[in-house]
């Protein structure tokens, strides 16, 4: 099968589009014929070797932690999916990923794919959708009527976070540059603050119940944003390089987000998509052979928006 792999850690030049052995599902696993995967900032860190601590991969490694596709074979004892099912999944961070024609995964990570959008586009949902969902509801227990500030709402996780918070009945204040302002507004943000021209900490007048930080900002800037959280509120932070501030005296919790694969929650997100209540934004669709160029752009700090890497077009 065709795959993109790296045989050594390094810059995007280590990625090779090449032939690899088709994987075989063991007991409890399913093999998915990949329609698409997607690019995430963490993929660059894993490829570069900076994340061998939390996410140790063996070489050669196939990147790609999100998948959409069709189940093609199942191992012994698998009953939640069958051959021919269209599925989506947030895969293991350390096993070979979905930048290939086939990927093998624990079947328990797979959920039925949405039917209302192209199967390839559905690869833009699993990991980032789950990150937003788990942060807002598992970690913060967000309730209708609460105020949430989403810093970095212009990105992939932010797009889902704004929509999910709004859907839950929260008042959503989002930060976005002019590049992403329209998308964030149409996702449902009540207020949008341009972080390129405005000091966000000065622009929010009333306290918020929940702060969700998704942007790589200075530690001091996050401490300043955390002062906007009311007593008893929550600071959520998805960027592990920045310490998550808390304030015990005021009962403000600090939670470093760590997303986990959860097929039940993913099914709920898929349900929202199919009911037209959650939009899946895709900025670009590129063929598998062009994945190294996507990594190179990210290395150069050039924003590409949400990139879906299409392996097989029109699979379903
Ligand atoms: N811990 C976990 O489990 C977990 C899970 C998923 C993601 N993450 C991490 O969470 C972060 C967000 O993920 P993502 O996929 O949404 O990344 P992303 O698509 O790169 O989004 C980040 C967004 O932040 C905005 N931004 C940049 N500088 C900013 C600033 N100074 N102030 C406010 N916003 C700023 C940018 O949008 P605009 O410039 O257009 O506003 C950018 O699109 C990444 O660092 C990712 O690695 C962690």
Question: pLDDT digits over 292-302, tens only?
Answer: 999 999 999 99
3-state secondary structure at position 88 = strand
Is 33 inside any structural domain?
yes
Flag whether pLDDT at 314 surpasses 80.
no
- 102: tokens are 């086939």
- 143 and 119, same domain (yes or no): no
Does 209 map to a domain? yes
Q: What is the pLDDT of residues 96-133, one digit of tens each?
A: 999 999 999 999 999 999 999 999 999 999 999 999 99
- Whether residue 232 has pLDDT greater than 80: yes
One domain, residues 87 and 178: no
Same-domain pairing of 162 and 114: no
Same domain, 237 and 177: yes
Domains in the chain: how many in total? 2
Does the pLDDT of residue 80 top 90, yes or no?
yes
What is the DSSP code (8-state) at residue 202?
A: H
**Bridging pattern class, strands 284-287 and 307-310:** parallel
pLDDT of residue 316: 62
Alpha helices in 61-143 (DSSP H): 126-133
Q: For residue 59, what are its two tokens?
A: 């070489």
**Distance from the alpha carbon of residue 160 to the mean position of ligand 1, in angstroms:** 12
The answer on 150 and 88 residing in a single domain is no
**Residue 143, domain member (yes or no):** yes
Segment 40-56, tens digit of pLDDT:
999 999 999 999 999 99
Residue 263 resides in a domain: no
Q: Return the pLDDT at 315.
A: 66
Containing structural domain, residue 137? 128-256
**pTM for the full model?**
0.98
CATH number assigned to the domain comprising residue 186 = 3.40.50.720
Pocket of ligand 1 (CB under 6 A): 40-42, 128, 131, 151-152, 154-158, 175-177, 179-180, 195, 214-217, 238-240, 257-259, 303
Task: Pick the atom of ligand 1 nearest to 154's CA.
Answer: 37
Q: Is 296 helix (H, G, I), strand (E, B) or coil?
A: helix
**Angle of the 156-167 helix axis to the 178-186 helix axis, nearest 10:** 30
262 domain residue, yes or no: no
Average pLDDT over residues 182-211: 97
Same domain, 37 and 79: yes
Q: Are residues 18 and 85 in the same domain?
A: yes
């Amino acid at each position: 099968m065709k795959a993109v792999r790296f045989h050594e850690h390094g810059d995007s030049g280590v990625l090779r589009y090449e032939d690899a052995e088709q994987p075989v599902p063991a007991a409890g696993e399913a093999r998915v014929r990949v329609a698409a995967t997607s690019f995430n900032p963490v993929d660059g860190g894993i490829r570069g070797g900076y994340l061998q601590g939390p996410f140790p991969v063996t070489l050669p490694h196939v990147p790609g932690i999100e998948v959409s596709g069709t189940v093609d074979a199942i191992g012994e004892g698998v009953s939640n999916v069958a051959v021919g099912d269209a599925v989506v999944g947030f895969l293991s961070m350390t096993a070979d990923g979905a930048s290939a024609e086939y990927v093998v995964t624990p079947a328990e990570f797979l959920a039925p794919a949405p039917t209302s959008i192209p199967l390839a586009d559905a690869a833009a949902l699993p990991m980032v959708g789950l990150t937003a969902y788990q942060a807002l509801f598992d970690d913060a227990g967000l309730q209708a009527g609460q105020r949430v500030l989403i810093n970095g709402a212009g990105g992939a996780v932010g797009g889902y976070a704004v929509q999910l918070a709004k859907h839950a009945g929260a008042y959503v204040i989002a930060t976005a540059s002019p590049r992403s302002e329209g998308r964030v507004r149409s996702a449902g943000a009540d207020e949008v603050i341009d972080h390129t021209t405005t000091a966000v900490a000065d622009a929010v007048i009333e306290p918020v119940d929940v702060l969700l930080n998704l942007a790589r900002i200075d530690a001091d800037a996050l401490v300043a944003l955390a002062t906007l959280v009311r007593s008893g509120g929550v600071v959520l932070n998805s960027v592990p390089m920045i310490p998550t501030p808390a304030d015990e005296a005021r009962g403000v919790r600090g939670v470093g987000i760590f997303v986990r694969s959860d097929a039940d929650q993913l099914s709920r997100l898929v349900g929202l998509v199919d009911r037209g209540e959650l939009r899946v934004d895709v900025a670009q669709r590129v063929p598998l052979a062009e994945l190294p160029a996507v990594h190179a752009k990210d290395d150069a700090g050039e924003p590409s928006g949400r990139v879906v890497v299409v392996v097989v077009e029109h699979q379903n």
